[in-house]
Chain A
Amino acid sequence: MATQHSRTAARLMISPSVLLLLCWMIVPLAMTVYFSTLRYNLLMPGSNPFVGWENYQYFLTDPAFLTALVNTLLLVGGVLIITVIGGILLGMLLDQPMWGQGIVRILVIAPFFVMPTVSALVWKNMFMNPVNGLFAYLAEFLGLQPFDFLSQAPLLSIIGIVSWQWLPFATLILLTAMQSLDQEQLEAAEMDGAGAFSRFIYIVLPHLSRAVTVVILIQTIFLLSVFAEILVTTNGGPGNASTNLTYLVYAESLLRFDVGTGSAGGVVAIVLANIVAIFLMRMIGKNLDA
């Protein structure tokens, strides 16, 4: 859009959708902020008096808050590490010419199409169950004590389940990035005396940096709000061991029926998500520049 005229026209044309999106975003946000300043409990109907920062104070000083915050970061960080490293390794594997490549690729992508609740239930009941789960059978077969994943290592188990869901996404993006690497570059590096490992470090990894950035940014957005997996497996427990911020907000507003504190938690979560976003963009955003 080069001319003044076409720029003006373009602004006019996109304004309706911008306005719509703005309302779409602003209205719920404003409502949440508004509710967060009220004493608003569904168990105590009646007037909902304005209480200022009380809900925030209550939410932030709740000992569960810090646990939830740490759990959220551990969950996001853990899944990112597993999916990025696993995605690079799987991508390299799938990039090799092999028999039945098409089928294998579909199999690898499949977990992404399974709904979070379903996959979490499958993991919970078919794999991790200490009595009937496959892992328990395996442990017994090896003569070991079955491990009760969800009660002994709840957060780790959830990290595992969520990683399983997101690994296909990372693999897919990283695989396409790998396929776009100019083979002549690799050959040139080979002629330059770079072994397989050096080629990976100096040629493949830098080439992947942009794709890795995209994977990290997109996944972070979704991982900050992991909920279904926790709800159907551990219910945030034992205690608060696997409660993240999203789950804490849910617990406040729908288990304790405290809409006010729940809203305050939501606002806190928004602020924290933005802090994470700014932090991420500072750290890896430059990879996206051409």
Chain B
Amino acid sequence: MGRITLDQVTKSFGAVEVIPPLNLTIDEGEFVVFVGPSGCGKSTLLRLIAGLEDVSSGEIRIDREVATHLPPAKRGLAMVFQSYALYPHMSVRKNIAFPLKMAGMDKAEQDKRVDYAAGVLNLTDYLDRRPGQLSGGQRQRVAIGRAIVREPAAFLFDEPLSNLDAALRVGMRLEISELHERLKTTMIYVTHDQVEAMTMADKIVVLHAGVIEQVGSPLELYHTPRNKFVAGFIGSPKMNILEGPVAAQHNASAIGVRPEHLASSAESGTWEGRVGVSEHLGSDTFFHVHDTGLAETITVRASGEMPLRHGDRIFLTPDPDKIHRFDAEGLRMP
């Protein structure tokens, strides 16, 4: 249960091809995160899997059964929408029970499952309220509750946390990870927040303009990005990409150094520059360094105690083992 395979799947809206032929396998029980910049086709891909959009060509298999033309209800998947999509005129209990009611389940069994889901999600006290009387986080949990009562083959989440404030987001992130540990059901999770992707995923799928740039575990993507796009997208702050003579020294067309792999000093180092904006996070400080002659800005992570100010001189030394090299096509060189 819960293995999803996409085989040469494409999607066009009219003349615009949003997803060129795409292959992907999602294994049973995996937590897969789709990340990519806005408009890269993450939601579209998820909706293709859900059956809310028809594929233009190709095949989708769920548990080895061809599901390409099955209606959404028959695919055994549950989806949590960004806007929650709760039914406003129904109580929380009725919302959660709705898929069971549609499946024609008897009332006692419905109640049992709703109570179980409410217990798991801490919703027991709110069962008789309407969605309009709940906070954002509670609504999100109701939406998840509605998904779990069906015991689906897989969960699909489309940016479920993007409407929540930062603190709540961290909390819900943990809750969803916890839920995955508990249910061991396949989950596909769409986000453009790479922190969410890194912290939650077993496997990350990086999308760019409908094309899969790389698939791998979070650390794999961090340590060995397959190309410049993935290198720039995974990691925060972004990797510094340097071109020109400095890259040529490494026999590459471009090199990438992460801010955390640059040593900074006020006295000496390989590259010299001038401090621009500094962002103090307490534990760390991120300096935006200008006038290095290498790139417009280089971001560097320094310890929180580094006493440099705007306009000060700064010296940077890259960790030679952590330099990523890219060829003219932007692909990683070994």
Contacts and interface: CB of A to CB of B under 8 A. Distances in A.
Interface of A: 182, 184-185, 187-195, 198, 202-203, 206-207, 209
B52 A189 contact: no
A185 B87 contact: yes
B87 A191 contact: no
- Counting chain B CB atoms within 10 Å of each CB, which of A185, A187, A190, A192 scores highest? A192
B23 interface: no
Nearest to A185: B85
Question: What 6 A-B pairs come out closest when comparing CB atoms?
Answer: A192-B99, A188-B85, A184-B85, A193-B73, A193-B102, A206-B89
Majority secondary structure, B binding face = loop
Contact of B81 (A187, A193, A194, A207): A187
A191 B72 contact: yes
- Counting chain B CB atoms within 10 Å of each CB, which of A187, A188, A193, A203 scores highest? A188
Given A187-B79, A188-B87, A202-B90, 12 more contacts: A182-B85, A184-B81, A185-B86, A188-B86, A189-B98, A191-B79, A191-B99, A192-B99, A194-B98, A194-B102, A203-B87, A207-B89
B79 A188 contact: yes
Contacts of B78: 191
A203 B51 CA distance: 20
Interface string B47-85: 000111000000000000000000111000111011101
B89 A191 contact: no
Contacts of B50: 191
B52 A187 contact: yes
Contact of B103 (A188, A193, A203): A193
B146 A192 contact: yes
Interface in B85-110: 85-90, 98-99, 102-103
Contacts of B71: 190
Contacts of A185: 85-87
A202 B87 CA distance: 9
Interface of B: 50-52, 71-73, 77-79, 81-83, 85-90, 98-99, 102-103, 146, 150
A54 B79 CA distance: 71
A42 B72 CA distance: 74
Contacts, number: 60
B89 to A, nearest CB: 4
Contacts of A209: 89
Nearest to B152: A191
B89 A190 contact: no
A192 B102 contact: yes
B160 to A, nearest CB: 12
B99 A193 contact: yes
Contacts of A195: 73
A195 B81 CA distance: 19
A191 B146 CA distance: 11
Contact of A191 (B73, B82, B88, B90): B73
Contact of B85 (A187, A193, A194, A207): A187
A49 B103 CA distance: 75
27 contacts: A182-B83, A184-B81, A184-B82, A185-B85, A187-B72, A187-B79, A188-B86, A188-B146, A189-B87, A190-B72, A190-B73, A191-B52, A191-B72, A191-B79, A191-B99, A192-B99, A192-B102, A192-B150, A193-B99, A193-B102, A195-B73, A198-B102, A202-B98, A203-B87, A206-B87, A206-B89, A209-B89
B84 to A, nearest CB: 8
A202 B98 CA distance: 9
Contacts of B72: 187, 190-191
Contact of B98 (A182, A184, A192, A206): A192
A193 B75 CA distance: 10
- Counting chain A CB atoms within 10 Å of each CB, which of B78, B85, B146 scores highest? B85
B52 A190 contact: yes
Contacts of A207: 88-89
A189 B83 CA distance: 14
Contacts of B52: 187, 190-191
